Amino acid sequence: MAELFDLAVAFAHQPLPKGNRVAVVTNAGGPGIVTTDNIELSELTMARFSKETSQELRANLPGEAAIYNPVDVLGDAGEDRYRFALEKVLHDQSVDSVVVLVCPTAVTEPEKTARAIIETHRMHPAKPVFAAYMGGKTLAAGASLLAEEGIPCFTFPEPAVRALSGMVRYARTRERPAKEEEIELDCIQPERVKEVLQKIRQEGRLTLLGSEASEVARYYGISIAPIVLATSPEEAVARAQEMGFPVVMKVASPQILHKTDIGGVKIGVENTREVKKSFIEITENVQRYLPKVVIHGIEIQKMMPKGTELIIGMTRDVQFGPLIAFGLGGIYVNLLKDVSFRLAHGLTREEIQRMLTETRAYTLLRGYRGEKPKDIRAIIEMIARAARLVVDFPEIAEMDINPVFAYSDGAFALDIKITIS
């Protein structure tokens, strides 16, 4: 709620920033560093002053002052020093907004400094100015003057940076094209998906088996490594031979979420003897650790070459509907939490592209340390198809496609979990 009201004050009284470059003016080094850190951790960046600005600051501020961003006018600064520094940085074309910090010292002039901030801002009304008066009651009169003028004034710099960051995000959103086209998708068979989901309901289940989830995915054109269900060692051998070695074998049970933890997965099975052995071992492992769990069989899946592991997921919000997630996948997804989210309705190619760039996974996709760039177009298409699927079928409550292996040419889903309501 505090952030909501901080943003309300900022939008009500300050102009939208033209960019994300921020200048900081302070009379104390520590708060200046704290503010700089917060700016660098947000969507903002520290402005780089022009040569002329730096030269004028150097010529007119004390020799001990810091003339590069953040500008430290020192603890003995009066309103005149603040006024000069503010005029120079606001005049600089490489500065989009300013955060002014005032800390209490023996010579601080809170009210005079506030008037200097107000008057300087009036000279540059197109650039937002935020302040942090970090002295409680000793600086309260100056903070009140700023608030009356409509300059957001905070007790600490962090909320000022958050509010300014929110304004920058909004300004960027407004600059986007008014209309972005949704992705045209072919090879979609909703009737076949209806048949699969109807069968699940008739059996009294809410969670699809891996082979059933892969069917649903294929009916919406989502590329997935081939997977089939076997109910006996002999059938598993036949299925594996049809598919071609090596294969992955994993227990088929909607009650087991983390199959690896109980020995329910075998990777790199190379021949028919290993298929029989793995079928028996997986079954025994599950019966040992989870004796009451119903096993539907063992799934045989074509083993794919190693790729960059990603996750595409969906959860359904009561108010906003399906939310699509994208990020780094595999076993580290919960540890790293490298995920971005979007509403599934009306998802465009441009919005999916922006979604990708918000994650660290995007660095890997573009090619990291000599690796080839991955097929980003294929990943965008897979996200679009997943979004279309969950929009078309509101009974899908949750969906996790993890991992997705991304290659330089194409992308394949390896494991899909779907839960229906």
What H or E segment, with its residue span, contains residue 364?
helix 361-365
Q: Are strands 396-406 and 411-413 parallel, antiparallel or unpaired?
A: antiparallel
Spell out the residues 6+ positions from residue 264 whose beta carbon is closer than 8 angstroms to its own.
Answer: 250, 251, 253, 256, 282, 285, 286
With contact defined as beta carbons under 8 Å apart, do 291 and 390 qualify?
Answer: no
Residues contacting residue 124 through CB under 8 Å, at least 6 positions apart: 90, 91
- Please write the tens of the pLDDT for every residue from 150-168: 999 999 999 999 999 999 9
Q: Using the predicted structure, report yes or no on whether residue 175 has a pLDDT greater than 90.
A: no
Helix, strand, or coil (residue 394)? coil
Angle at 206 between CA 203 and CA 211, to 5 degrees: 80
Cα separation, 274 vs 268, in Å, equals: 10
Q: Give per-residue pLDDT as tens, 131-144.
A: 999 988 989 999 99
Share of the chain above pLDDT 70, in %: 97
Which pLDDT value is given to residue 179?
65
Domains in the chain and their CATH numbers?
A: 2-175 (3.40.50.261), 190-302 (3.30.1490.20), 308-420 (3.30.470.20)
Q: What's the confidence (pLDDT) of residue 135?
A: 87
The pLDDT of residue 334 is 66
pLDDT at 332 over 70: no
Q: Where are the beta strands (DSSP E) in 153-242?
A: 153-154, 227-230
pLDDT category at 222 given cuts 50, 70, 90 is very high
Closest CA relative to residue 315, chosen from 306, 307, 326, 305? 326
Residues in the chain: 421
pTM equals 0.71
Cα 96-41-132 angle, rounded to 5 deg = 60
Closest by CA position to 354, among listed 376, 332, 387: 376
Once rounded to an integer, what is the mean pLDDT over residues 360-372?
87
Place of tokens 């909004």: 170
For 330, 360, 372, 376, 404, the CA distances from 367, given in Å and listed in that order, are 19, 12, 5, 11, 17
Pair of tokens at residue 308:
């960059």
Q: How far apart (Å, rounded) are the C-alpha atoms in residues 87 and 19?
A: 19
Task: Give me the pLDDT at residue 260, please.
Answer: 87
